[in-house]
Amino acid sequence: MRGLRSWTGLVFAALYALVFVALYVDYLRRAGTWFADLPLVLAALPFTLLMRALNGGSYDFAGDMTLRVIVAALFCCALAYLAGLVLEAVIRAIVRLARTRTP
């Protein structure tokens, strides 16, 4: 489990969660207007695309579907964490390689 710890991933996930909360609050403020949930839907795009693929091409997502918004936020935060983990691992490998090659 130690290999799955990543400060970069934690920061990426926290920022994504913060953006998701801000977009949901913005949706609640503008609920009932035309395209009120568009920014929220775009932030949840990775979740929506995966669910469309798993459901055979059809998946409904909107700001008023609270449970789906929560699940999308968790999924996207986990994805952001993994992106940060991979980025940190690559940078650590490059730095380790650079240190071994310097005389």
pLDDT digits (tens), the chain, 103 positions:
667 789 999 999 999 999 999 999 999 999 989 999 999 999 999 999 999 999 988 889 999 999 999 999 999 999 999 999 999 999 999 999 998 876 6
Its pTM stands at 0.88
Q: How far is CA 102 from the centre of its chain?
A: 37
- Find out whether 27 and 84 touch, Cβ atoms under 8 Å: no
Phi and psi at residue 86, to the nearest 5°: -65, -45
